[in-house]
Structure formats: C-alpha cells, structure tokens
Amino acid sequence: MKPAANPSAVIEIGSTGIRLLVAEYSEGELRVLDQAGKAAALGRDVFTSGAVSRESFLECLSVLQGFREQMGAWGIGNDSIHVIATSAVRAARNRDIFTDRLRRETGLPVTVIEGIEENRLMYLAVRFALKHEIPRFWRAAAMILDVGGGSTEIMFLRRGKMAAAHSIRLGTILVDEKSRRGASALSMDRYLNENVRNTLDFLNDEMELSHISILAATGSDARHAARQIGRKLNEHCSIIDREDFLSFVKKIKNDTVEDSVRKFHIPYADAEGFVPGMLLYRTFLERIAAGEVVVPDISVREGYLIDLALGVDRGLQRDFAAQIIASAVNLGRRFRFDEEHSRHVADLSLTLFDALLREHGMEGRERILLETAALLHDIGMFIRGSGHQRHGQYIVSHSEIFGLRQEDLDIIGNVIRYHRAEPPNPADIEYLALQREEQIMVLKLAGILRVADALDRGHSHRISAISVEKKSEALILRTGESFDLSLEQIGLGEKAGLFEDVFGYRVLLQ
C-alpha cells in the first residue's frame, strides 16, 4: 500500500454504523483511497431510549481504535482525521458526555453535524457528483432527498440554486420502530402516509411538488437500489427510471431483512432499514413529477472532505451566500413578511456595514448574518405587531436557513430581538447564553440594523440610497434627495441610541 501525498480521513458516526473514508481531493477531483464500515446500534439506542448506551459507546470506541490502526497505514495523523456524528448522536440526550468520552479515549474531537449543516454538506457532495450533468438536470425545479436512519434531509433547488432546506425527524429506524406493532408492509405504508402527508403538504406550500422534475436520492438505501436497477451516469452517479424505481419498491415492500441480505447482498445493518428507506423515497417520488431518480454514489463524508479542501473558495462562498439569502427570503415569505421593506432595509444595512469596516472590524460571515437579520427583522409581525421583535427572535431561532448553523440562527435571532425597544439587560437569557464575542457582535449588528430600519420608518422606500461621511464625532448620512426628511430624522432620534453607544458616532441625516 503506497501512502498518498496528502490523504485525509473522515469517520462518520451514523445511526446504523460507523464508516471511514480515506481520500484526496484536489483540483476538483476526488480520489478515494480506502473505505471501511462497521455496524453499530446507536440509532436503535437513541430512538428507543433517548440515549447512547454504554454497550454502544464501547462498540463505537472499539471501531474508532480499529480505524486508527487502518489510517496509520496511510500515514494519516490526528490533524487529518475528522470525526463527525449525524442524526443519532445529535438527538441523544447524553451527546455531550458521549462525544467528550470519545475525545478523551481516542484523542479525536467529534463534530456533531446539525441537520441543516448536513444539508449543506450533502449539497456539496451532490454538486460534485453531478458537476458534468448539472446543466442537464438542474435547469428546472429539483429535490435532493437524503433518507437516513434517524432523519430525512430535504433540499429544494430552482435552477441549481437552493430555495429551501429542511431536516425532519423521520428516518428508517423510526419508521421501522413505529410500524413494528403491525409487523407488515401495510402498516408501514399506513404509518408513512399518515406521518409524511402533513410534511408533504407543508413542503408543497414552499415549492409546488408537482413541478419538481428532478429527484436526487442520496441515502445508502437508494445507492443499494441503484446497484440493482440503475445505470451508470458517470463514475460518481447512477440513474433509475421512475417506473423502474416504483416497480422495484412494489416488489420488495414485503421483504424481510433476511430477504434483503440474501437477494441483494446488503450488509445486515443496512438491510434493517432498506425496505423502510425505499418506501420513504417512494412516498416522496409519488408526489413529484420526476421521470428519473438520480443517485449519487456519495455521502456526507465526501461532502465534509470537499468542504475542508475548498476552504475559502471565493466563488463557492458567493454561491452559498446567495443561497443563504434565498433561503432566508423563503422563510420570510412563509410568514408573509413585507418583502420590499425588508430588502430595502437590508440594502441600507449593508451600505452602513461596508462604510464602517474599520470601526466594527467584522468580515464576510458577519455581513451575511446582518443581511439575514435585516431581511427577517419584522417576521414576528406574523404573530403580533406588539413585541414583534421577540416573536421574530423565536421564529428564527427555531427555524432552518440553508447554510447557517444553530449558533448563527441564535445570533440572528438576538439581532432581531434588539432591532427595536430596549437594549439587552441582565434578564435576557438568550443574549446571556451567547459567547462574549457574539454578544458584542449582536450589539454592533443590531445598532446598524436600527439605523437602517429608521431610514425606512414609513415603509415607503423614500430614501433609495445613502452615502456615508465620517466626521470626528458624527456619521453623516446623505440621501441626495430634496424632500422633507423629518419623519426619518424622528425615527433616527428614537432608534440610533444603540449605534451611538457602540460606535461613538452621532448619526445625522441630511
């Protein structure tokens, strides 16, 4: 075995097993050097008892130690080993204890991937697998569907751009456990129809499902099916005709785990969820217009490795920033926000942010968080106008925006919370839960947002744009307009206090 030049390893602790990928990624190409997998019962533990058991911990520890020896043959040190955990670990009530013990025993930190982050990594992986076919497949509406043991990740794309993303707590283990009482495919069908129907109706409000012409199925069950009935599209991807897919599911729906192992040579751990997984894919496929199912032979592990390798790819950063904003706008539309006002306030906020780079010392990530907060600052009006900043914080903190982690959503929620009314006080638990640096960021971003919102106090968009001039003690905002600015000046008088406290400038409008 000849060691590769710069190999990296990604170990995924999943619901049904622990899987290793050793690969190199450079110049847009992925070279897989080694793969391995061991069955593990973490999902059964968590989705029945709520926690990872001692036995599963010891099993996981043993697998990781075995993988360490395997990676040693490739000369891979700890800095190039990345351990990630998905739905089972993130749902476990003892996740922090579990990951801390693994770190202490192995020396390897474990990164728990949140559902919306898993979406982003799967998008990267699918984009890589379909890089030569994207013009063919993503001209219209598409859905990426990843059915796992404990959750299902759903992404909607319009012309290849992210429109919405969701992580729902419904996976093969959960379907199997919930339908086990009936012990039949009929009861499993009934369970899926009853529990997926509401989800599908909700998703249909975001993008009309009957208009979706492409389904990319990324879970292991779809990959097993593709090996039986699919045809190769390229080295990283297969394709299955719609009718072939539906016919295959019809044939296997009554199969036992043993049948799946015997007929398709599927590992037992995967076979336990094979029929529930295929039924889940079928349930979604029946509601959309896709004539084919695209099956990338790729997983979140490849997505994680690609993400690490890309680093600060400027083109990709711009692409993701645009998709974050598109996802935020989609959330706003769901809650019937004033889109024209929100976009206008976002534009004014970014003008101020860019003019104050030296003063605030923030960068691209904070700029995206500000834009997102500005777009959603009035989303709480859907619940009630009075105290809508608090309602908005709750909505955003408990929602999903593609490309943003829960930590980002908590920051955005706090910025929304303080875009009006009183600044933070010692009783504000959500603010105090932030790190000190994050609290300072919230004050800066909320101060900027307050000024921008005041400039469109009447939601009339009278001030189309501003230029910013900095004096020793004043920030002068020039509009270039000749109309009466008294309403906006009153708004600034009411809302600019936080900005003035944070940045030390009086705000003047001319």
Distances (CA, A) of 197 to 164, 342, 384, 385: 18, 33, 29, 32
Where do the structural domains in the chain lie, given as residue ranges?
Answer: 8-113, 116-308, 312-463
Pairing assessment for the beta strands 29-39 and 81-85 based on DSSP bridges = unpaired
Query: For position 245, what pLDDT does the model report?
Result: 97
What is the distance between the terminal CA atoms of the chain, rounded to a whole angstrom?
Answer: 72
Q: How many residues does the chain have?
A: 510
Domain 116-308 in the same topology as domain 8-113: yes
Specify the pLDDT at position 312.
45
Domain 312-463: give its CATH code: 1.10.3210.10
Taking CA 377 as the corner, what is the angle to CA 372 and CA 447, rounded to the nearest 5 degrees? 85
What pLDDT is recorded for position 230?
96
In the numeric block, which tokens belong to residue 463?
């001030």
pLDDT of 184: 58
The pLDDT tens digits for 334-354 are 899 999 999 999 999 999 999
CATH topology of domain 8-113: Nucleotidyltransferase; domain 5 (3.30.420)
Q: What is the pLDDT of residues 33-79, one digit of tens each?
A: 999 989 888 888 888 889 999 999 999 999 999 998 888 888 888 88
pLDDT at 4: 44
The CATH class given to the 116-308 domain equals alpha beta
User: CA quadruple 169, 174, 179, 184: dihedral positive or negative?
Assistant: positive
Low-confidence ranges of the chain (pLDDT < 70): 1-5, 134, 178-186, 311-317
At residue 181, the pLDDT reads: 58
Q: What residues pair up with 83 in beta bridges, in sequence order?
A: 11, 110
Structure tokens at 459: 């939601």
pLDDT of residue 473: 87
pLDDT of residue 171: 83
Question: DSSP code of 351?
Answer: H
Q: What pLDDT does residue 185 have?
A: 60
